[in-house]
Amino acid sequence: MRKVSLWLMIMLCGSLIWAQSEGSDEIGDDFYPGIGNGGYDVQHYDLDLEVDLSRGSINAVAQIGIIATQDLSAFNLDFNGFTIESVRIDGVEVDYRRAQAELTLIPNELIESEQTFEVTIAYQGIPPNSQNPTFAEGWVQYRRGIYVASEPAGARNWYPVNDHPLDKATYTIKITVPEPYVAASNGLLVDTQDHENDTRSYVWENFEPTASYLVTVQIAEFEMQSYYTEDGLLIRNFFPVDIAEDAEITFSQTDEMIAYFETVFGPYPFEVYGAVVVNTSLSFALETQTLSMFGRDIVVEQSGRRTGNQGIIAHELTHQWFGNSISPATWRDIWLNEGFATYGELLWVEHTLGVSDRDEMISNWYASLNTPDFIQSPIAAPGLPPGNEIYNLFNASVYLRGALTLHALRLNVGDAAFFRILRTYAARYAYGNATTEDFIQVAQEISGMNLQSFFQGWLYEKKLPPIPQMGL
């Protein structure tokens, strides 16, 4: 086409400039195209949730404090389901559109880069079912209560969010429930309010930056038990009323675990910790920030202080340093969460039962990974998880081979350098994000060794490397 009128050219250019200032509808995670968004940085979420357990619905207002990182003519939040009642920016109603889990807000005038603004979204309805075929992700109502477990991207199933660990924020969460239910969440309980209709509001303040998948709401008939550790850290646990005594025994080593892990990882990174036991059996536990969640089965079916359940408790606690304070920059870096937390289990066994028990576990894990049937997979290489299937994100290699990688590193560099590597890494990336390459960099810097081929074998190649120091 040769003849283009001047006004058409101006129109075309104008619309191009307008289009270029839309925030991206994804954050750039190669495992999960489409999740997260670009063009802004959320500072704080203030969620006000009225929960109707008989209808299974919530009535909510989300206030989201944001800083623009570019000019924004439009931008996206991740949000799935619900009926939206209103969308405002700085108190003024704005247009929006929805397509699957993308909510696009269209401000009335251009938001300039570095401008701070507040989005307020009122919504209600029954939280949507998880889209994850392997386990429920997001808001789950069960017979005796509600739990929220959102890893990796289920937060969008209950509030509008930039749903990727790269955009951490602080949270205020107010949850209103009918008596006798109790509502727990991350951080500190700063207020409760009783209302005339026999409902009670619980206001939780979470002061440290938190990845969206680590935000939780827990509703059941809980007994709260709280105490301070010798170092003055507040521990508050939420246990189902009928098993509270047994649960207290199951979790009675928490303060000793924190004291021990502080000697190997450095200071506990948050202002509070505790466990919530969901009032139904789960096939998993999750390191929800400052309030790790466990199924009722950890108390009922594995009662007391057995090696197995203490391992799971040590695992979720270790995540508070590795996964929560330092979160993965991309989901490809998941071994930085799971390999480290699994190594926390080994360290707890070493500390409480001794080196020979630890080495027996390592040998068993090595043997389980080193069979022809096992799908050997490199744990940090580009490309999707085993089977080319995103739902294999949490495959056994990420946990076991991840932990073995750390033990092999320890045997290579020696105990002193190894624990300095862990403490340096924990301190340097605290409250932020790290990549696998960031960890390799710290390991080489502290050890003074070139570890490229070591990590190449353990993290990026299919074949399981030997551990010659253990005859494996």
- Catalog residues that contact Zn ion under the rule CB under 5 A: 338, 341
Query: Which CB sits closer to Zn ion, 168 or 319?
Result: 319
Contact between residue 181 and residue 140 where contact means Cβ atoms under 8 Å apart: no
Parallel/antiparallel/unpaired status of strands 292-294 and 327-328: unpaired
Contact between residue 298 and residue 279 where contact means Cβ atoms under 8 Å apart: no
Minimum CB separation of residue 338 from Zn ion in Å reads 5
Work out the burial of residue 54: count CB atoms within 10 Å of its CB; fewer than 13 is exposed, 13-18 middle, 19 or more buried. exposed
Query: Which CB sits closer to Zn ion, 170 or 292?
Result: 292
Minimum CB separation of residue 343 from Zn ion in Å reads 11
Query: Which CB sits closer to Zn ion, 152 or 160?
Result: 152
Angstrom distance (rounded) from CA 258 to CA 368: 30
Minimum CB separation of residue 31 from Zn ion in Å reads 17
Angstrom distance (rounded) from CA 175 to CA 459: 42
Query: Which CB sits closer to Zn ion, 312 or 464?
Result: 312
Minimum CB separation of residue 256 from Zn ion in Å reads 20
Closest CA to 355 of 270, 460, 470: 470
Query: Which CB sits closer to Zn ion, 127 or 339?
Result: 339
Query: Which CB sits closer to Zn ion, 163 or 338?
Result: 338
Name the helix (H) or strand (E) containing 468: none
Minimum CB separation of residue 310 from Zn ion in Å reads 15
Angstrom distance (rounded) from CA 177 to CA 202: 8
Minimum CB separation of residue 288 from Zn ion in Å reads 11
Closest-approach residue to Zn ion (CB): 341
Contact between residue 314 and residue 333 where contact means Cβ atoms under 8 Å apart: no
Minimum CB separation of residue 61 from Zn ion in Å reads 32
Query: Which CB sits closer to Zn ion, 23 or 339?
Result: 339
Instruction: Name the token pair of 122.
Output: 């009122």
Contact between residue 212 and residue 138 where contact means Cβ atoms under 8 Å apart: no
Angstrom distance (rounded) from CA 409 to CA 417: 10
